[in-house]
Structure 1
């Protein structure tokens, strides 16, 4: 048995004491095993009845492994070694974690930024296969990426269908297209599993198996803890974790997530989309705040924060990793109010899926729907169709346009002493707008591969305020935390960072470019957030390299007081 455990302290321990016995009495764990759709109330029953296949996905997932292993060998025989994944939300975040933890090369294309798309395609397609992963089969981002990749194949004198593999639900538009076009393979996902619960299904396994990950080991790690999670017992770690994160009183609804020892790179981002999209609705929910080592939120005493430490497995290090600990993780000093969760990657995936639906039960929300995700898509589509005139900035500093309320843009108007000083004043004024028990969400609609340094501003801004700060890359967060932003408590302030591209990129067969698409996605989400009564500030850099450096310097400036 793989080691899987939890330590809980303070408010988290109190929540376990308060709720777990009742969860056991109500047979919640065994009813999950029976896929009982009534666990979340009458309003959720219809949706839940179609979304519980993730509870035991192992037989269906293992059934596709022989074909996958044969396909990987065939691809290598044809000198196709690079795997590119076009996916959004749960379809991309879980494979990214799996590949990174195993040290396997997987390029995740989860953006509509023309520079990011262009750079990935410029690396060549002759030795690459594109896995297009979309549950609905109509996701605009993945469809656009597929079109661009196919055009690149044609331009290189290749047959696109030999370089494209599909993962989708049976009968979806992408399923029909893949078969009509003769794509190399079409893998059907289980339609009873929602995207964010799909880590151990075809969505998580197909791209990573093709990239060379030992996916059989991953599945074994998860299946070994299944019986434990389905047992009605007060020691059930799934019940205990779900109670700890969803049952504090008063609710500590900001989960400060830190992954210790860097053993599971990207796991915090996966957990973020799972928890936020599942619970952020009906003006309640849990907001994960994924932080780096030494982040200000870790030492914060704010009453709405709960510390969550995720610790990789000690006894079974992942491929290519050496021993990660010098002490037993169970003996580590736990946070004052929070949980430490330790175990291998496969077990952690299944555990957090169980814990999230338990938290949904305690919060009295349906953990399987996402009613507010569609609103931003609709707004973006409307902007693409209408092609409105460009918005006029309230202020501009050295090629950086500033949009937002007067209290934020005023410091940048007139003749400022310098660009960095003016931007620092803008950022400080933005932080001052965060309400009590609120948070700042930084949203970068840029190239997350080549503009990755920008993520450092999360910690810098957090150092300048006593409130938590999240950081997300657009548009991928629209498929995850975007649900919490609009469906959860209306206490967020949103800082969008957008930028011009050195060259736009056509979306073949569509009346819009990637540049127009990502612009509409940012503007559409800003419109929906504003309609919900929340504040949106936007910094638009005309010169990415220079402008983003100045934004970072401004964030550093206010972090130093």
Structure 2
């Protein structure tokens, strides 16, 4: 595992803080799990959140059970592994499986169309992994209820098709015991975003066919380095992140085009944004974007060049080193890297909205084709709205696009007969709401981020509300053609999804964040209209 500085200013910023960290004994204290590092206010939280430091060894206890569970699943023909989990309960497993090139379907959404397409895929061969630390996450609860109903309707005993991963004593653990589901208890002294090497990352990955023992081997190999004052990749990376942020380079551009690890920046995004984005401070990860060459950027590459910092190493070691580095960066920024004080706000807003007879969507400011525009823009068409939002981004700020849609819908786009892969990719891109990020990024030198809702609420959502007051927000929602009821609950997935969008929008607006909501009355036509308008902006 190697962290190298490729930029003199980064090396200087890191050196300016590394000496203080070493003088304070931080490397040995952190590796030893000292909860006092982040101050008195953070000590209680840190005392029950540092178990990730020992996971490369502790998680080996899971290996016999995982081997037996995976073997039994294969013998039963359960080859379609679906993971119902949000944020820290799904992102690591998604990266592990993508890197190992083994199939895993991640269901981290309340979108009815995305849930329905997953439900309709090989139900009799489906093994549903339901993962959640608290056991009360609303999206995961809904997905479990919907799958239970679908299994029952198909004459399938859910007990043989559901595996639950949760903390001891959670409501989900009790639910699993009552229903006869296979229950894997995770260690409780690890926060969700630091849980990559715990049961949350390992159980779904092992069931999908990934070599999780190798993952732990690679993490354990780097573990002894984390107490060292020199040659410590976690300290080197943390000093670069935190030292650079203190000097104003707080936009973390993540590059991984040549990396053997697939999708690692998505996991890093949650870890860094949710850990550091609070008290008006934070480091903003920017994923799938080219650098703009601005003074507030720090380019960190995973086994790639060019970069200000390059991080080389296998996936298991990457997980552990980034966790350590994030804890160090939090220390340098003067925040608690283990809490998420603003995440619950949007959840609470959602609960209040769901209790109302009708959701308060309000009236659109204007309509442009299949797109309703909500908010207070002065523009009268979509190109004007985009231009207005880009102009509103402060000199040190960013634009965030938040799309509450089916993130797999682009693959439904028609492709020309006989098309090659490049032509198919082009067709998918022009039907993908995420393409809007790249189109708007061409028109500004400020970072443009993109998140699928409600997935991002469990990651960058903390940064949006708790981080620096310099974000501008574009929210996209869509009409639901065929809704999915949630058995036993008084709402559908479509209603839940819209309530989550409106709840988060309200949380942003109460902080004075500039925000516009675009509602697609026809999703496919609406996305095409947005992309065409972005090219005119």
TM-score normalised by structure 1 residue count: 0.90
Indicate conservation of the 8 Å contact 2:3/2:237, yes or no.
Answer: no
Indicate conservation of the 8 Å contact 1:238/1:352, yes or no.
Answer: yes
Which stretch of structure 1 is more off in the superposition, 496-505 or 5-14?
5-14
- From 293, 297, 302, the equivalent of 1:310 is 302
Gaps of 5+ in 2: 412-431
C-alpha deviation, 1:79, in angstroms = 1.1
- From 24, 27, 31, the equivalent of 2:25 is 27
Match of 1:322 in 2: none
Alignment of 1:487 onto 2:487: no
* Per-residue Cα deviation, 1:54-109 (whole angstroms, up to 9, x for no partner): 01113331111111111111111111111000010111110000000000000000
- From 311, 314, 322, the equivalent of 1:341 is 311
Which stretch of structure 1 is more off in the superposition, 500-509 or 365-374?
500-509
Match of 2:426 in 1: none
Match of 1:401 in 2: 372
Indicate conservation of the 8 Å contact 2:28/2:227, yes or no.
Answer: yes
Match of 1:301 in 2: 293
* Per-residue Cα deviation, 1:22-64 (whole angstroms, up to 9, x for no partner): 2112111111122100010111001000000001113331111
- From 511, 515, 525, the equivalent of 2:504 is 525
Gaps of 5+ in 1: 312-328, 413-422
Match of 1:154 in 2: 152
TM-score normalised by structure 2 residue count: 0.94
Match of 1:235 in 2: 231
C-alpha deviation, 1:517, in angstroms = 0.3
Rounded Cα–Cα distance in structure 2 between residues aligned with 1:451 and 1:144: 24
* Per-residue Cα deviation, 1:506-545 (whole angstroms, up to 9, x for no partner): 0111001000000000000000000011011111111111
Match of 2:135 in 1: 137
Query: Counterparts in 2 of 1:221-370, with a 5 A limit?
Result: 221-231=218-228, 233-248=229-244, 249-292=246-289, 295=290, 298=291, 300-311=292-303, 332=305, 334-335=306-307, 338-370=308-340
C-alpha deviation, 1:124, in angstroms = 3.0
Query: Counterparts in 2 of 1:95-106, with a 5 A limit?
Result: 95-106=93-104
Indicate conservation of the 8 Å contact 2:89/2:132, yes or no.
Answer: yes
Rounded Cα–Cα distance in structure 2 between residues aligned with 1:113 and 1:10: 46
RMSD: 1.3
C-alpha deviation, 1:210, in angstroms = 0.4
Give the secondary-structure state (helix, strand or coil) at the position aligned to 2:517.
strand
Match of 1:411 in 2: 380
C-alpha deviation, 1:433, in angstroms = 1.2
Indicate conservation of the 8 Å contact 2:364/2:372, yes or no.
Answer: yes
Give the secondary-structure state (helix, strand or coil) at the position aligned to 1:358.
helix
* Per-residue Cα deviation, 1:107-166 (whole angstroms, up to 9, x for no partner): 000000000000100113110111000000000010001111111111111011211110
Indicate conservation of the 8 Å contact 2:57/2:216, yes or no.
Answer: no
C-alpha deviation, 1:5, in angstroms = 3.2
Rounded Cα–Cα distance in structure 2 between residues aligned with 1:206 and 1:516: 31
**Alignment length, in residue pairs?**
515
Q: Which runs of 4+ in 1 moved over 6 A?
A: none
C-alpha deviation, 1:459, in angstroms = 1.5
Indicate conservation of the 8 Å contact 1:4/1:347, yes or no.
Answer: no
